[in-house]
Structure 1
Amino acid sequence: MCDDDASGLRAAFPRPVAGVAFDPVSLVPVDEVVVTTLVDNTFDALLASDDRVRRAPIGAGLVEAPQFEDGLTTVGLRAEHGFSALVQVRRGDAVTTLLFDTGVSPDGMVSNAERLGIDLGDVQGVVLSHGHFDHAGGLAGLAGRRGVRGLPMTVHPLVWTRRRLAPPGLDPSPLPTLSRRALESEGFEVIERRSPSLLVDGSVLITGEIDRTTDFERGMPRAHQAWDGAGWRHDPLVLDDQALVVQVRDRGLVVLTGCGHAGVVNIARHALRLTGVDRLHALIGGLHLSGTAFEPVIAPTVSALTDMAPDLVASGHCSGWRAQQALATALPEAWVPSSSGTSFRLAA
């Protein structure tokens, strides 16, 4: 093993973080948060709604189809390997709308929003969980459908990192890299934050970098590489990975992840420690437990989440069917299947 390999592995190992946060974040509680999944890997029009979850209608729109007598057919929502969520935060009568990630294709997110009757013109800020293309591809569609001049977009400074996949025995495949210059020319106001930041009058927390404290969440396999200016190196940590956190009054924290590259247990524990809140109310988003490299992490992840006893777990995107099955078994009252067009309502 060369020195570079060893240093990368050491970086992925846990580091001790004990006690309360040195600089705790005072997160203002909200009365309600509604998280609507605009893009996810699946769309199931037959999933049932309940008092916490509202599903998209089976006929979310009409499109031209000449083989039918009236020339139209009913369509559902787009499902693609990506993630995007609309976050509506309410305090009293004041509602603020944020967009968390934008899916993989330029038109997938905006198409689903249109079919759901959601006006993306109401979005007051964008947050990117990290720089991977399956979370940022819809920025082009957003800019094309609404004026984004001055629209703030919160990112980690490493979101611009060049990355590639280099599986053994195969030619490396470059991953699309975000361009700050292009985004600013579209009108986005890019805000880089490595440390935690507060939005919406202190009621929405963007975690910034996550403390890696578990002994089983080791990050991406060796095929995931980043350009460091001199060469390609294993990039296990995806340090730009960050989560969105809201505290629902009298309920606890709602944690929204994109892929959870930092490890979902690391993320949840980091949010609890950072805010001083002792309860995880809901966990929504991608957990990155799919594939042979991550399936060994499923059991300890599910065990740790079971100990936290969240009221709602909606794992989607890159979580994988094995993890979904394990979570559904371990947390039958909390786990609900995710799907494009689903709204999760968490209220005080």
Structure 2
Amino acid sequence: MPTITEVYNNIPCREGLTPDWGFSCLVEEAGLLFDTGERGDILLANMQALGIDPAAIRHLVLSHDHHDHIGGLKAVLARNPAIEVIVHDAFSAKTLSLVREYTDPRIVGEWAEIADGIAVTGPLGTAIPEQSLAITVSGGYLVVTGCAHPHISRIIEKVSEVGPVWGVIGGLHTVTGEDVEALAGVAHLSASHCTDRIGELAERYPASFRPGGVGQVHRI
């Protein structure tokens, strides 16, 4: 079962780590880093404090082309140029050019398996295309989002075409009534980073809600 450690988040959770606007987490068993936060120096410092070696990471998945999710990209690539970088086909030429200074990116346009038991949704949404992780767990899929710009209800709908959504971790940005209802069946809910109605979600779903923040560890 996966262990997910939040290495970058603007919400503080653990002493000895630096909170800063952005999001990044490590799926430990897969050696998979999801997003890189806003600043490379903070990302690397938090990794060091958590005992995470950037050179040991095998996969890097980027959710969308916003600086608070790709700002640490160059720092990671400089420490580990052999890493597999997975992006989607809506990333800018500037970001892709940065990746190509170190390695050839894997560009996906739809649902794709990227590691054992782990898939990406491919880009969803139109204004801000974004992809999420779908990790196989005993109850279905654990969805990991960067900002959920396409709305978490749409992401859950997409993943549900493949299998049931067991849990959700990450930023949910602007949460609508439809999004709130879509989270009703989720057994593990940890909304953080840019989510605008965290308190309401915690009150609505006290049995499933888990606080998120830099240093938080989710053992599923």
Scaled by the length of structure 1, what TM-score is found?
0.60
Structure 1 runs not aligned, ≥5 long: 1-31, 46-57, 59-75, 89-94, 162-177, 213-235
How many residue pairs were aligned?
220
Which residue of the other structure, out of 72, 96, 118, is the alignment partner of 1:204?
A: 118
Q: Is the 8 A contact 2:156 2:182 kept in 1?
A: no
SS at match of 1:107: helix
How far the C-alpha of 1:44 sits from its partner, in A, is: 3.0
Structure 2 runs not aligned, ≥5 long: none
Q: Is the 8 A contact 2:145 2:169 kept in 1?
A: yes
Counterparts of 1:146-225 in structure 2 under 5 Å?
146-149=79-82, 151-160=83-92, 178-185=94-101, 187-201=102-116, 203-210=117-124
Letter in 2 for 1:39: Y
SS at match of 1:242: coil
Whole-angstrom distance in 1 between the partners of 2:9 and 2:73: 16
Whole-angstrom distance in 2 between the partners of 1:243 and 1:35: 14
Which residue of the other structure, out of 304, 313, 316, is the alignment partner of 2:189?
A: 313
Whole-angstrom distance in 2 between the partners of 1:255 and 1:339: 17
Task: Tell whether 2:11 aligns with 1:77.
Answer: no
Which residue of the other structure, out of 39, 50, 54, is the alignment partner of 1:120?
A: 54
Q: Is the 8 A contact 1:205 1:245 kept in 2?
A: yes
Larger radius of gyration: 1
Whole-angstrom distance in 2 between the partners of 1:38 and 1:82: 10
Task: Tell whether 2:206 aligns with 1:332.
Answer: yes
Whole-angstrom distance in 1 between the partners of 2:95 and 2:85: 13
Task: Tell whether 2:130 aligns with 1:256.
Answer: no
Whole-angstrom distance in 1 between the partners of 2:17 and 2:183: 30
Whole-angstrom distance in 2 between the partners of 1:192 and 1:143: 17
Letter in 2 for 1:248: V
Stretches of 4+ aligned residues off by more than 6 angstroms: none
What's the CA shift string for 1:149-169, capped at 9, x where partnerless? Answer: 3x21111111117xxxxxxxx
Which residue of the other structure, out of 282, 285, 303, is the alignment partner of 2:181?
A: 303
- Corresponding residue of 2:76: 142
Q: Is the 8 A contact 2:58 2:84 kept in 1?
A: yes
Whole-angstrom distance in 1 between the partners of 2:19 and 2:49: 13
